[in-house]
Each structure stands twice: as C-alpha cells, then as structure tokens.
Amino acid sequence: MDRVAIIGASMTQFGERDGWVLDLLSKAGTACLADAGVDASELDHLYVSNMASGEFEGQTGIPNALAHDLAATPAYTARIDQTSSSGGAGVYAAWQSVASGASDLTMLVGGEKMTHRSTAEATDVIASLTHPVEYKHGVTLPSFAGLTARLYLETYDAPRESLGKVAVKNHRNGVDNPHAQFRKEVDLETVLDSPIVADPLRLYDFCPITDGSAALLLCPESVAEEYVPADEYVTVAGIGGATDTHVVHERADPTTMGGVVDSSEIAYEMAGLGPDDVDVAELHDMFTILEFLQSEDLGFFEKGEGWRAVEEGVTDRDGELPINTSGGLKSKGHPLGASGVAQVYEIFAQLTGQAGSRQVEADVGLACNVGGFGNCVTTTVMEAGR
C-alpha cells in the first residue's frame, strides 16, 4: 500500500501573539507551502484544526476564510474540532484524505487564539467539554489532573518530585526550541514551591495559555520525491484514533487512558512496529501527570513505572527514549487546535534532521495528542523517508 508522506511542515512562534486566529493560520499555512515549494492552487483538500474560534473570538467559518486568504479555492475544506486533540484528529483527517485517494495534495493547518481571554475565561471555554454533572460542580481540566495525580502517586508510591522533574526536563528542552513560548529552564525547587493550582499539582505542572499555529503538507509517498528529496519527507507508518468515556470517573482505572491504549494499538499494528521501535516521542503533557500516563499506556514503560523513567533520565534528550524534545506543551505552549499538528512538526523535524540543537538520533517517531482528559486520542507513528 502506498503510504502517505508528509512533505512540508511549519509552525509560528507560540506564545502571546498580536494576530487573531486567521492571521496565525495564514502565517503557518503560507510557510508550510513555501517549505515544500507548493502553490496553494495545487491543494485538493485543506483542513483546519481548531477547537473554539467561535467561543474565543466570535469567528466561525475559518476553513473557507483560510482557503480564500491563501488563494486555495476551490480546494475542499473542513474544520476539525476534537477539543485539545483537534490537531491529532486533523492529522487523521488529512492522512485519510490522501490514503483514500480523495486528495493528491492536502494541507492541514491547526491554530488557536487564546491569550486575549483571562485564565478563568479560557479555563471555562475548555471546561465546557465536560459532562453536565461535572461542569455544574466547577470541574476543570486542571482539577481532573489534580485528582488523577493524587491517585497515581498513592497507587504507585511515586514521589511528588517525579512530576516536578517532567516540568524541569521539558523546560530544559524548550530552551532550544525557537518557537517555544517559554525558553527558560526551571529548577525542581521552583516547580515544587510554585502556587497550588489543583493540589497536589502546582503552577509549573501546567501548560500555559497560548496563541499559535502549525501546518503540515501531505501527499502519496509515491509522488513525494516530485516535491522534495527523500531525506526531506517522512511517512505516516501508522495512525490510530480512539475514544474513552466522556465522564472521567466512569473509567475502570482512572490512571489508565483507554484512548491512548486503543489508538496506539491501531497505529502500531498499521505500522508493523511496536513501542520498542520508537526512537523519539511527543506526548500531550498539558499537565505533568499526563506524560506518565501516556508513556505507560503507549507501552513504553510498565504501568506505574513511567515516573521511574523520568527519575532515571530515560526520557531526557540524551536518554534512551527522548520524550518531548520540543519542550512539550508544557514549555512550547498549548494553542489547542495547533498542538497536535505541532507535535508532528517536531517529529518531522527530528526524522529529517532539521531539529538543530534539539536533534536526536531517530528513524521512528511517535506523536500522541489527547483531547479532554483522555476522552479522544490520536496516535501517529512516523518513519523517515525511504
């Protein structure tokens, strides 16, 4: 079967940006087309990953608006909303469009504009994904993280410091990412002394509120070299999407993300690869606890052992399995619809040798994008061009 190739990638600076969502999407889209030397008029499909442009800034209909701004009409277009995993779901939609033969050239652009809202307002927009019995109690995504972190630490006898070390590691990685919102190291003491947000988690256990955009260009692998040399593209070896319960407390084991387990099994099977084959991974560390849960549910480590890997430096950039070389959502930032796309951008950069001072030795990379608190997940396994 002809695989789908990613032949171009781009991302804007993440952080507090002057532009609104369409400006950000346009910047990333234009840069992505330039990266592969493609004209927008060649696009068959154009997807936009975005969670809440209507709620954040009162702008809807952004896929068509972007198609017009980029002169990509009459390309087919659609918005992909899967909350925080809108980016991963967009990767799935873009992959599907090419793999099915419906499109010979697809661009995916993910983006979100959030920082003009207060933290309380942005938290409420995101919390609106919760079930009514959760929402009416004031349950937020950070509070899910606090509840789960306590359960994890008690169940697996993990030290609180191990969560802090995720933040320290990812901030250290973010220093070398020119697109990251925070390019500043933090020490463990700072993390552990920061204000409580959702006990036992503190400020530095959480990603920031972010503006930004990222884009990818996809085509059949059989024609990839018509656009770029073989060492400048990657292939989607396997991709899987899955859901877990909407109501978080109904899960049999709240420290297991079923959507991560199920989506990764699909992706591994499609790729003919397993967790031991992965050389570098970008995980959805919206909260530090999520890096433990995903690293276990993806099969990298035994259940309850993910914290030990961080303690032992296994997931450091120079470790056996580097995780979040980009700085992760924690340091790079989390513009909701862009994050899953930016994860793939990082793996694309690593597998094509374009990661600069973040570069690691890697032939196989994985991105895991999580929506809600594990409600929706897309896992993508990528290989360097063949």
Partner 1 sequence: MSDPNAAGDDEPVFEAAEYADGTVTYPPHPVGPNGADRVGTIDLREYDAAVITWTESTATPPGVRAPNTLAIVEFDLGEEYDGPPVRAIGQVADNADVDVGDPVTPVHAEELRDPDAGIREPDSQDWDGFRFEPVE
Interaction site with partner 1 (CB under 8 A): 55, 119-121, 123-125, 127-128, 131-140, 142-143, 146-148, 150-151, 154, 195-201, 247-250, 252, 254
Q: Are 200 and 161 in contact (CB under 8 A)?
A: no
CB of 133 to partner 1, least distance (A): 5
How far is CA 231 from its chain centroid? 23
Q: Which two tokens stand for residue 274?
A: 């397993």
Nearer to partner 1, 55 or 176 (CB): 55
Name the pairing type of β-strands 45-49 and 376-384.
Answer: unpaired
For partner 1, the closer of residues 254 and 385 by Cβ is 254
**Radius of gyration of the chain, Cα coordinates, nearest whole angstrom:** 19
Shortest distance, CB of residue 49 to partner 1, whole angstroms? 21
CB of 142 to partner 1, least distance (A): 6
Cβ atoms of residues 294 and 370 within 8 Å:
yes
Q: How near is the Cβ of 170 to partner 1 at its closest, in Å?
A: 20
Spatial distance between the Cα atoms of 326 and 142, rounded to a whole number of angstroms: 22
Q: How far is the CB of 22 from partner 1 (least distance, A)?
A: 22
Minimum CB separation of residue 200 from partner 1 in Å reads 8
* Distance in Å, CB of 82 to partner 1, minimum: 18
Residue with Cβ nearer partner 1 (154 or 320):
154
Give the nearer residue to partner 1 in terms of CB position, either 115 or 173. 115
10 Å CB burial of residue 208 (0-12, 13-18, 19+) is buried
Q: Provide the 8-state DSSP code for 177.
A: -
Rounded to whole angstroms, how far apart are CA atoms 29 and 9?
9
Pairwise CA distance, residues 264 & 276, whole Å: 13
Closer Cβ to partner 1, 74 or 132, answer by number: 132
Q: Cα(372)–Cα(248) distance, rounded to whole angstroms? A: 9
Nearer to partner 1, 99 or 125 (CB): 125
What angle, rounded to 10 degrees, do the helices at 160-174 and 288-297 form?
A: 100
3-class SS of residue 212: strand
- By beta-carbon proximity to partner 1, the closer residue of 90 and 146 is 146
Report the alpha-carbon distance of residue 190 to residue 186 in Å, rounded.
Answer: 6
